[in-house]
């Protein structure tokens, strides 16, 4: 949850002080993908961790039955 909040706050700070979010990580030479920043990575990884944890909890609950 901390990663999601940190990423959201990072983008919010950019929007407040600059009026836009600065994206600076470009992996287009390797893959055709939009440019992004560390805050976007934090939000994505935080959401992925939550989804994985939920899946693990569901599997553990089913094994108890």
Residues designated catalytic = 23, 40
Residue 35 CA neighbour count, 13 Å, CB half: 6
How many residues are listed for the chain in this entry? 65
φ/ψ of 25, rounded to 5, equals -100, 115
Distance, in Å, from the CA atom of 61 to the CA atom of 55, rounded to the nearest integer, reads: 10
């Amino acid at each position: 949850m901390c990663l999601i909040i940190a990423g959201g706050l990072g983008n919010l700070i950019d929007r407040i002080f600059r009026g836009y979010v600065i994206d600076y990580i470009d992996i287009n030479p390797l893959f055709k993908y939009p440019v992004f920043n560390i805050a976007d990575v934090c939000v994505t990884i935080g959401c992925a961790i939550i989804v994985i944890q939920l899946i693990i909890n569901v599997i553990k609950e089913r094994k108890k039955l």
